[in-house]
Structure 1
Amino acid sequence: MTKLSVNINKLATLRNSRGGNVPDLIQSAKDIESFGAQGITIHPRPDERHIRYQDALDLKQVVQTEFNIEGNPIPKFVDLVLQVKPTQVTLVPDAEDAITSNAGWDTLKHKDFLVDVIETFKSEGIRTSIFVDPSQEMVEGAAMVGTDRIELYTENFAKEFAQGNQSNAIQPYFEAALVAQKVGLGINAGHDLNLDNVKFFKENIPNLLEVSIGHALICESIYLGLENVVNMYLHRLK
């Protein structure tokens, strides 16, 4: 079964929009785990507009499943991850003012930088994953920097799938997954996966270990309820 890691950034956005502590991010993470999710993901950004750095420290005390922290490895982020020591760190090449992630790493151009950062995390026993586009060249480059896993950036898949182009949508991801298998990388995926497309994606990507889903899952939960939606994803990922 492919693991479901729920990104709770949007719950933090809702909390911050009003001040106070509603919804309670810590209790929400506990509840999501109790509903069956196998991981919690957060993506703190420098302006702390949703997840705050203190949230990462607080969540470390309560998350019982896999804890995944993703973000751009600027010094402040690196320090936070080394302090928290989550199960996994996912490196994303976000600009500081990015609304959301919008591209994978150029693993060739940034090879030396990624090698250094990944060595820093792995020396502390933290599993590493890097965000990449579904490109054979970028996946092969990921293997050269020493990461444990890649996370396939799935926005283009989601767009093509929504337009009815299922075969075109999945093909580059299938090919990238084959390359990842060949070079010994674990495969995660995320960005714009939802209840409509996640089953098709999972069924066509060999050895998909984990999906990280936040925005769509929280939006779907407004209509269907959080516990129900988590279990709908788990059913699709079996």
Structure 2
Amino acid sequence: MISYLKGTKVEITKTTQNRLFLILDVNNIGYEMQISTRFAQKLDGSADEPIQVFTHLQIQEDKHILYGFPTAAERDLFRQLTAVSGIGMQLGIALIDTLGISDLVGAIVTSNIPALTKTPGVGKKTAERIALELKTKLAQWRKISGMEIAQPEAVFSPQPEIKEDLEMTLLALGYTNEEIEQVIAALSQDNLLLKNPNVEEWIRSAIAWLSGE
């Protein structure tokens, strides 16, 4: 219904669920739309500059929610992701936020499951389903769009079950997806911890790292 909007940034607000919303002034009408952390960072210092935001409108029975993206390609990728069974709007935003559009497409096309599971809330089975359903579609889309993709480097990470429990616990404690991604990447450098199957130890280590202890 609304392909894009052009206007100026009024403000970016953060909800108690750690979701970011951009207020965009378009001819004296303020449009509210959810955006990713990556996009919010790009908008720093652009208060007086006209910006173009590509949009996706989600229509629910009790409300309409607008989502904003810096490019049409990112908006189209979001639509592809949320068409996968079990991938809701928030998980679609989190996938783009964690990997970025180029690395995300690369991970899907090459079935790089470890890279996809870096996203909080995405376990092994979900990552496999994303790769299975979108691999061919995104490979064709990439060729048509001429997009160059980067293959994310292989990373060590905790076992899927530990990772999911750790992410859910940290989210419940109010930490952001970005903070959770950072702490998991940091703790995954600890070879002894990687061999530890005790999720409580992972949680204690994560909170200590996030608290700067």
Q: Same fold (TM over 0.5)?
A: no
Larger-Rg structure? 2
* TM-score, normalization by structure 1: 0.29
* TM-score, normalization by structure 2: 0.31
Task: Choose between structure 1 and 2 for higher RCO, CA contacts under 8 A separated by at least 6 residues.
Answer: 1
